[in-house]
């Protein structure tokens, strides 16, 4: 099962659903069984199209370095079984036990890392990483490493304000725009927040940039109430927002999880809850979340399971 089931009520609701990160929760999540494969996939995607998946131009170096100096110590503290950090004077040594690597560098010295700081750091985590300028109006997106997007690409969003980035999301700016900006303005260093976003997919692949659609469009065909549980996937994004103390930039992380719907509705009540949410998703949102093409067979699958459970009772 996935680590989150993002449906807290029986009807669809458009809300930010943001809460403070709890003391026992890590900012960067390590899904150890999948870690090596997902990091390797990142490296392969970046090798195939680096400029399409990483952007960190002039003026963002300070923000990138602060991301490392804030998150590496936190990761070593929160996940000591996987990572450790040694600091001697200005020299840092990062030990990634999951990859079996050690990296020596000096924060602020571009020549001490083989890649741009954010690009290097992105290859240590399963999350996608986006940096927003917290000192300019509208919180423009200024840098990022994006390998596992759900229907968008970095190049289309870079330099745009937060609300402009969300323009394609039905009703987002109208209903949540003001509260989103208020949330961003109120973020305090050392007090990260988190939320969970969801979509339905017909593939478990993580990289869903728009140009990949021809490679998996055929998977929409042949989905029936009998096979929808295995052929439809619940795609979750565990997102965090962190205000960096020195530059005031905002780091947005996205950890993507994917699993067949069938594996996520085995627990009592989950099947019924998901069915009720899907029945109440507005048409434009259903299209955006890719629910619309599979809604009928997926509901058929969920409702058949409800009937079976009722019969057994």
Domain assignment present for 5: no
Quick check: is 12 in a domain? no
Taking only the tens place, the pLDDT of each residue in 151-190 is 999 999 999 999 999 999 999 999 999 999 999 999 999 9
What b/e string do you get for 280-292 counting C-beta neighbours within 10 Å, with b at 16 or more?
ebeeebbebbbbe
Name the region of 192 (left: φ>0; alpha: ψ -120 to 50; beta: rest): beta
pLDDT at residue 207 tops 70: yes
Which residue in the block uniquely carries the two structure tokens 């229907």? 151
Burial class (CB in 10 A: 0-12, 13-18, 19+), 185: exposed
Structural domain that includes position 84: 18-310
Domain presence at residue 111: yes
pLDDT tens digit sequence for 7-22: 999 999 999 999 999 9
pLDDT digits (tens, 9 = 90+) for 30-53: 999 999 999 999 999 999 999 999
pLDDT at 307: 62
Q: Cα(130)–Cα(66) distance, rounded to whole angstroms?
A: 13
Percent of the chain with pLDDT over 90: 94
pLDDT for res 313: 45
Residue 42 inside a domain? The answer is: yes
pTM, 2 dp: 0.96
Cα–Cα dist 147/27, whole Å? 19
Rounded alpha-carbon distances, angstroms, from residue 265 to 7, 81, 122, 271, 309: 11, 32, 32, 5, 12
In a domain, 124, yes or no: yes
Q: What are the structure tokens assigned to 28, written together?
A: 């960067």
- Reported residue count of the chain is 313
- Answer yes or no: is pLDDT of 283 > 50: yes
288 located within any domain: yes
Query: Looking at the domain assignment, is residue 81 inside a domain?
Result: yes
In a domain, 6, yes or no: no
Number of domains the chain contains:
1
């Amino acid at each position: 099962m996935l680590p989150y089931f993002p449906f807290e009520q029986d009807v669809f609701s458009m809300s930010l659903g943001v809460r403070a990160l709890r003391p026992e929760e890590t900012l960067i999540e390590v899904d150890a069984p999948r870690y090596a494969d997902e990091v390797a996939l990142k490296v392969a995607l970046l090798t195939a199209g680096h400029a399409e998946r990483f952007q960190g131009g002039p003026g963002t170096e300070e923000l990138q370095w602060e991301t490392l100096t804030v998150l590496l110590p936190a990761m070593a503290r929160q996940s000591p079984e996987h990572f450790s950090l040694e600091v001697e004077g200005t020299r840092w040594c990062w030990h990634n036990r999951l990859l079996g690597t050690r990296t020596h560098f000096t924060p602020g010295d571009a020549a001490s890392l083989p890649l741009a700081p954010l690009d290097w750091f992105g290859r240590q985590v399963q999350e996608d990483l986006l940096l927003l300028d917290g000192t300019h109006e509208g919180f423009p997106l200024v840098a990022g490493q994006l390998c596992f997007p759900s229907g968008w690409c970095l190049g289309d969003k870079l330099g745009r304000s937060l609300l402009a980035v969300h323009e394609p999301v039905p009703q987002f700016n109208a209903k949540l725009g003001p509260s989103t900006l208020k949330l961003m303005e109120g973020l305090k260093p050392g007090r990260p927040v988190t939320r969970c976003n969801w979509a339905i997919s017909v593939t478990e692949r993580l990289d869903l940039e728009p140009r990949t659609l021809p490679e998996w469009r055929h998977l929409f065909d042949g989905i029936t109430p009998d096979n929808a549980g295995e052929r439809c996937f619940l795609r979750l994004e565990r997102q965090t927002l962190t205000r960096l103390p020195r530059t005031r930039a905002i780091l947005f992380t996205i950890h993507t999880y994917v699993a067949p719907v069938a594996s996520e509705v085995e627990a009592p009540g989950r099947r019924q809850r998901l069915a009720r949410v899907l029945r109440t998703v507005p048409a434009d949102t259903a299209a955006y979340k890719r629910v619309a093409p599979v809604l009928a067979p997926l509901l058929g699958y969920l409702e058949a399971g409800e009937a079976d459970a009722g019969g057994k009772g």
